[in-house]
Amino acid sequence: MVMKKRVFTATYRDKKKMAKYLSSLQSEYKRLTNVWVDIREPNISWNKKEANVNHLTPKPLKAIERIIKVHTFENNLVLDPFLGSGTTAVAAEMLNRRWIGVEINLEYCEVARKRLSKIQPKLPLDK
């Protein structure tokens, strides 16, 4: 059996109705997009000056915080199997989430440990 594709073309009236409907929603709700203009790209200057993180691929803390906020509730568990400099753990700790981080590189483990000790000095981190 072969299925044929159907193409639907909206009339001018349908498009006008849809535009009116969408504009009415804008007054009630904030439109979500996949472009986050309030979060800067992590580049070398960001890495050294602001985050003080020595890592090849640093992630902005704001971006990780937003992802965690959207996808978890307080006291949920966040897993980062490639912890790196610990940005995910820092964000999870600040947002009252439990977290598990796995990192094979001992230098990055120490960087993450130092970052976490700044926000929560009494964390029981295993050495």
Cα(first)–Cα(last) distance of the chain, in Å?
63
pLDDT of residue 127: 54
Instruction: Note whether residue 52 is domain-resident.
Output: yes
Instruction: Note whether residue 4 is domain-resident.
Output: no
CATH of the domain at 95: 3.40.50.150
Quote the percentage of the chain above a pLDDT of 90: 34
Residue 105 structure tokens = 């590189």
Instruction: Note whether residue 26 is domain-resident.
Output: no
pLDDT of residue 55: 72
- If you average pLDDT over residues 114-126, what whole number do you get? 74
pTM: 0.62
Q: What is the pLDDT of residues 55-97, one digit of tens each?
A: 777 788 888 998 999 899 999 999 999 999 999 999 999 999 9
- Give the number of domains in the chain: 1
Residue span of the structural domain in which 68 resides: 44-119
Q: What is the pLDDT of residues 41-51, one digit of tens each?
A: 554 444 444 45
3-class state of residue 100 by DSSP: strand
Q: CA–CA separation, 62 vs 80, rounded Å?
A: 16
